[in-house]
Every structure is written in C-alpha cells, then in structure tokens.
Amino acid sequence: MFLKEKASVDKSEYHKRRLNRVLSPERRDPFNKNDKGRGFKDAMMEQEVDKEEIEIYKMIEEKKKESLEVESVRVEVEEPVVKKRRWDQTPTPKSSEWDKEEASVSKSRWDQTPVSMDSGATPSRRNRWDETPVVSSGNATSDRKSKSRWDETPVYQGGMATPLGNAQPMMTPMAGDVSVFDARNRPMSDEELDAILPSKGYAILEAPSSYVPIRTPARKLMATPSPMDVSGFMMGTPQMNVVGDMGQGQPSDPSLPFVKAEDYQHFSKLLEGGKEEELSVEEIKERKIMRLLLKIKNGLPAQRKSALRQLTMNAREFGAGPLFNQILPLLMSPTLDDQERHMLVKVIDRVLYKLDDLVRPYVHKILVVIEPLLIDEDYYARVEGREIISNLSKAAGLATMIASMRPDIDHQDEYVRNTTARAFSVVGSALGIPSLLPFLKAVCKSKKSWQARHTGIKIVQQIAILMGCAVLPHLTSLVETIAEGLKDEQQKVKTITGLALAALAEASSPYGIESFSIVLEPLWKGIRQQRGKVLASFLKAIGCII
C-alpha cells in the first residue's frame, strides 16, 4: 500500500522555516482612495521595529556570552595552578622502605603445620562436597538448610489449564491494534445503534420463538479455562465512547467528505451543525466556501471537479477576503500532502484569474504562502509557484508587487531574502526586465543596509538563471547595475556579485563579451587579493566570461 507523501516530510530545517512566517494583515489598495487599511508606510515601520527587536536580542545574547567568559577567566585567576619545582624545597632525608619495621606479620597458610583432623571435629567451613550422597526417598529428610527455587513445586491456581505459580507476568505491552480490534468487535448497545443509524427506516427484529441458544456441554469443555478466582486489584475497563470516536469527523451534511483530525481547526464550524436561518450572511458565505474547500481537499475526484468549478465561477461573489482568509491558512498547514497542496494551488490560480485587480490587498499574504514553492525540491512545485506569482504580478501590477515585497528585501532572516529574490525574478520575467531595472539600480546601490544590496544582486542572478538568453538585450544594464558589488565592504555581497556575473555570462554565452569589459579588471585584481568563497566566486565569474 502506497502512502501519500507529506509536503513537509523529509525536508531540511531550512525548508521548514516557512512554517515560522506569519500571514500579514491585508494592506491598502494604493489605487483605491476610499481604502484606509495598512499601507506601505505601516509595513516599513513594522519591519523596522522587528529589526530593532532582533538586534536587541542579539546584543543580549552577546552580553550573556561575554559575562560567562569573564566569570570563567576570573575563576582561573583566583585559583592559579602553581607548579612545584624540585629546587624550591629543601630536600629532607627519606627513610627507605626496607628500614621500616613491620607493624604486623601477614599470616600465610604455609606458616602453619598441617594437622590431621579428627573424625569428630567439626570443619570450620562447610562444603557441599563434604556430604555423602543419599538416595532420596519419600520419607528421607535431607540435612541441607539452603533453600532453592528448584526445590518447590509450582503452586496450582484454580481455574487455569497451565500452572503459573510465582511466574513473572508478561512485561511486553499489547499492541494498540488489539484494543482497536476489540472495540470494533464488541457488541453495541441500543443507545450506540440509535446514534449511528437513522431513526427512520429501521426496525429492531425480535428473535424467533423457535430459536434456542446452543448450550452443548462438549463446547464448554473445549474452551481453555481462565483464572476466574485470581485475587488482588484489577484495573477497571474505562467506558468506551465508540459513537463519539466514529462520528466526530463527519460534518452535519452527509454529502461532505470526512474531516481529518488535522483539519478540525479549519473546518470545525461544519461539525457544529445549526440552522442556516440563525446565521448571518457572512457566516453563510463562509460555510459555503468551507464546504467547497473540504470537497476539493478530501473529496473524491468528481466532488473536487464540481467544487472547483463552483468556486471559480462564484469567486467575485464570494470576494477576495473570505476566499483568501480560508485558502491561505490551509496552504500553511504542515500536514498537507503533495496532492492536497497541488489542488489548493490550483484553486488560487483559478481564483486569481477571476478576481483580477481585487487581489491587491492580499498580495503579500499570497506571496508568503507561494514563495516557499520556489525553493521546493519538487520541480513541478517550483513551476506551479512561478506560474502563480507570474499571474499575480499581472493582476496586481508592478507598483503593488514592489510595495508588497520591498520590506522583505532587507529582512533579517536570510530565508525571507532568498525567497523574495526568487519571487522578484519571476516578476521581472512576467512584466519585463526594463520595467524592473530602475528599482534594481536603486536597491543594488543602497547605502542603508548590506542585506538590501545582497538581495538586489541576487535578483539579477535569479533573472539570468530563469530567463537564459533573454537577458541579452539588457545585459549591459544588468552588468552595470551589479558591478559596484565587486568592491563592496561585505564579503557576502562580493560573493553573490561574482556568482551573478557568472550566471549572466552563462546565460548570454557565446555572445555579449563586450558587456563584461567594466568588470574584468576588478575581477583580475580580486583574484590576487581575495580568499575563500569570494575567490571561488571570482574564479567562476572569470571562467564563465572566458
């Protein structure tokens, strides 16, 4: 039997960092004057606060380490280890061990003269070989006083076919499947049957008058007797709630598929029941979206197809907010398997096409969920992620995409910067490199933080990897944009610049050698000056250019 592969299983710790990200609140649409939600300014202020908080925590950790080091040095100073030198002390005459008098003479068995023991003398030590073997009989009594467990006959306990005596009970616990088997095969009470079966359409049949239970004595003798007269404390069997265990994951609507245990937090409202007349319009809409998503996630293929069609056709009626507020938390679940993730990504793709510009307030939320697909181990997952971000950038526009992703460019977490750079490369391939070039030049020359420069140069590298020879018309502009990174103060910026130049050279090969003329001299000088990873990236860049 083949098991579904979980999307979060067998991933590295780096991939699991996607679960640490939080869905940000929806932002204001810059093209809607009546929208007064969170804007770009609020997002940047929150980013600054988070950055300061992380720096404060780092300072606290550094101070703790410094205090521990100072304490360890203080202990070493307070308790110096002074080595004794043989010239520091006046030698005192030591007596030889042969000059000492013996305090007590050790007793040896060879010091005594062997004496023959009388027959009536009692030996000082008893040995089992001293006794003469005696033929055992029913009336004979042995003089042995030591007690052995082999001298006792096992005690017979009534009602048992095999005597156990003082045998040790089994220490291996029973498997969990045994209890499940017993629970499924136990006789069910009338209350449990009433709770499971419908009240209408079923009747309780009475036994025929001619029915006589089998009471053959021979059948009773064939059964192994059980220890019914065992005394002592016995653990009572807890009452089993079979009905609750069987029906807790089934929604009130019988047409809906079963709700898994890990999905309770998302679909718990479908298990509550209740009449729709008592619910508000928003709650009715919310439950309708839940039903369709449950069919798409856990339903049969026919149910999935029908629910996906309904969700796509009614996307603008449902609205972007109610849809994304339920789809995106599902995609963030760590228990999703690959098939469920594929279906939910397909839902987002269809919904984006219908909603068009209504998705602008939710761009950052969608990116937080979709960006981890760009670094997934599965090739098809990466393709799906690129397709979603490409459609999202076409629906929202370049201005909205830049405003949404700008706070993540100089984020403290390298994982966020990595996924943001890959997402920007997809935006550049979808909307065109010339539209993104002014923004890239500003980011790569940023003096505020080296993280921003690092991310901007990495965007150029990912554009070259993604688009290939399509970078040729813009090759000179891209090389000029990142050329300053070769002289940067930060080693990481120099390293990523060398790798970006290598990617541009590979993408444009065998053309465009004249575009790299401005970086040849810094690369040659860097080879003689740099060490480690920076030297490796510079060598790779020169090799790819040549």
User: What string of H, E and C letters represents the secondary structure of 512-546?
Assistant: CHHHHHHHHHHHHHHHHHCCHHHHHHHHHHHHHHC
* Phi-psi sector, 372: left (phi>0), alpha (psi -120 to 50), beta: alpha
Could you report the per-residue pLDDT of 113-139, keeping only the tens digit for each?
665 555 555 555 666 676 666 555 445
Backbone angles phi, psi at 252, to 5 degrees: -65, -30
> What's the full length of the chain, in residues?
546
CB atoms within 10 A of CB 506: 16
User: SS3 helix, strand, coil % of the chain, rounded to 5?
Assistant: 60, 0, 40
Chain centre distance of CA 370 = 18
Q: What are 472-507's pLDDT values in tens digits?
A: 999 999 999 998 888 888 899 999 999 999 999 999
Please report which residue ranges of 87-225 form alpha helices under DSSP H. Answer: 176-185, 190-196, 217-222
Among residues 417, 420, 424, which one has the least CA distance to residue 398? Answer: 424
Q: d(Cα 427, Cα 175) in Å, to the nearest integer?
A: 54
Dist CA 431 CA 205 (whole Å): 73
**Single-letter amino acid code for the residue at 479:** V
DSSP state of 273: -
303 neighbors 340 (Cβ within 8 angstroms): no
12 DSSP assignment: -
546 residues of the chain, pLDDT tens digit each: 344 555 544 467 777 777 667 666 666 566 665 666 666 666 667 667 777 777 788 788 888 888 887 777 766 655 555 555 666 556 555 555 555 555 555 556 666 666 555 555 555 566 667 666 655 544 545 555 566 667 666 655 555 555 555 555 555 555 555 555 566 677 777 777 777 776 677 777 888 888 887 776 666 556 555 555 555 666 655 555 544 444 455 666 777 887 887 888 888 887 776 677 777 888 888 888 988 998 898 888 898 999 999 999 988 888 888 899 889 888 888 888 888 889 999 999 999 988 888 888 889 989 999 999 999 888 999 999 999 999 999 988 899 899 888 888 988 888 889 999 999 999 999 999 999 999 999 999 888 889 999 999 999 999 999 998 899 999 999 999 998 888 888 899 999 999 999 999 999 888 888 888 898 888 888 888 878 888 998 889 888 988
Contacts of 300 (CB under 8 A, 6+ apart): 257
Separation of alpha carbons 402 and 436, rounded Å: 9
What 8-state DSSP symbol labels residue 149?
A: G
0.85 exceeded by the pTM? no
In whole angstroms, what is the distance from residue 460 CA to residue 441 CA? Answer: 10
